[in-house]
Amino acid sequence: MQHLDRAVREWTPQTLRDAYLAHGCAIVRGAVDPAMLDRLREAIDRAYLKTSDVHVYDAAIREADGELTGFEMADTPLLRGFLDLLYAGQAYKGANVAARRVHGSSEVANNFQVPLKLHVDAQYHGPTFTVNFWTPLQACGVDSPTILLVPVDYKRTRAHVGFTGKKLREGGEFYTDFFDLGSMDVDVVKRTFGDDIFLCPVMAVGDVVIASNWIIHGSHHTATMTQGRKSVEVRFIGTRMDVRRDGWLTKLIWLFLRGKARPFQDLR
Ligand SMILES: O=C(O)CCC(=O)C(=O)O
Ligand SMILES: [Fe+2]
């Protein structure tokens, strides 16, 4: 998966955006300063002492740290450049920061969650395009659970999960009635996208998975992953359901504006 998983120095905002749109996600190794994540983890641990909720959000992180909320994670030239390009033509802003703790097989501790089943975040957060910078607060993927992704472009995923903008039934929580929930069954995903479609990255502190509210994902947990894992999701939200703006007409206009194509030059 070299094409979607690279070291920070091997990406530019443009190549990152292109890979992200092609695969529905991308991984940036060493994207974030580990010292900042250490400080964030300490604040999150303190904030967890004050709640029985499984999540700790940006407001509680700021209260515990006095300064950081978690959004600072995205303040790097690459990640900001990526967001600016991805959301070209629409406004975007920080939506929320949510810390999560997923338990390993030997520990079911307080406010640790069971590993999450496959879902798309749009089921819970709604359809407006949301970028999720997912990052662990310690190494994970060997001794502790990591994230599991179905790296498929977001429009294909959206079609697969049955989203048309119309409810398929009534009575469900959040936005779940808009989705064909059976489409996110592991066997259905394998049958549709192939047995080896699942991506379960081994992650170091500082590595970031960039996902969206339109990717099928969950937690990856095996019996050998005995330890719990802490991670943080830093979300940015736009104003529309779509971000892709590189249809053939847009491309032609860009080439034209940059002086690389002059389709009308002989029509004077
Ligand atoms: O951390 C996990 O295992 C799952 C995370 C998730 O569902 C998310 O970031 O939206
Ligand atoms: Fe999720």
Q: Is 121 in the pocket of ligand 1 (CB under 6 A)?
A: yes
Q: How many other CB atoms sit within 10 Å of the CB of residue 16? A: 25
pLDDT given for residue 268 in this prediction: 35
* Dist. CA 114–CA 228, nearest whole Å: 10
pLDDT given for residue 247 in this prediction: 73
For residue 265, pLDDT beyond 50: no
When pLDDT is averaged across residues 236-262 and rounded to a whole number, the result is 80
pLDDT given for residue 127 in this prediction: 98
Burial label for 125, CB within 10 Å (0-12, 13-18, 19+), is middle
Distance (Å) of CA 99 to CA 10, 200, 229, 232: 28, 19, 11, 4
* Dist. CA 187–CA 189, nearest whole Å: 5
Residue nearest to atom 7 of ligand 1 (CA): 218
Question: Domain containing 61: what range?
Answer: 5-267
Atom of ligand 1 nearest to the CA of 115: 3
Chain centroid to Cα 28, Å, comes to 12
CB 31 within 8 Å of CB 79? yes
Ligand number nearest CA of 55 is: 1
Residue nearest to atom 10 of ligand 1 (CA): 121
pLDDT given for residue 78 in this prediction: 98
pLDDT tens per residue across span 129-145: 999 999 999 999 999 99
Number of domains in the chain: 1
Centre of ligand 2 to C-alpha 130, Å, is 11
Residue nearest to atom 3 of ligand 1 (CA): 219
Q: Is 144 in the pocket of ligand 1 (CB under 6 A)?
A: no
Name which of 12-21, 98-107, 247-256 the model is least confident about. Answer: 247-256
Residue nearest to atom 8 of ligand 1 (CA): 233
Residue 183, helix vs strand vs coil? helix
- Chain mean pLDDT for the chain: 93
Question: Looking at residue 95, which CATH number applies to its domain?
Answer: 2.60.120.620
Atom of ligand 1 nearest to the CA of 119: 7
pTM of the model: 0.92
Residue 130, helix vs strand vs coil? strand
Atom of ligand 1 nearest to the CA of 100: 1
CB 99 within 8 Å of CB 45? no
For a ligand 1 pocket test, name from 101, 116, 120, 227 the mutation site with the most ligand atoms within 8 angstroms of its C-beta. 116
For residue 263, pLDDT beyond 90: no
pLDDT given for residue 266 in this prediction: 40
For residue 18, pLDDT beyond 50: yes
pLDDT tens per residue across span 199-223: 999 999 999 999 999 999 999 999 9
pLDDT tens per residue across span 53-107: 999 999 999 999 999 999 999 999 999 999 999 999 999 999 999 999 998 887 6
Q: Is 233 in the pocket of ligand 1 (CB under 6 A)?
A: yes
pLDDT tens per residue across span 98-133: 999 998 887 666 668 889 999 999 999 999 999 999
Centre of ligand 1 to C-alpha 252, Å, is 38
When pLDDT is averaged across residues 181-207 and rounded to a whole number, the result is 98
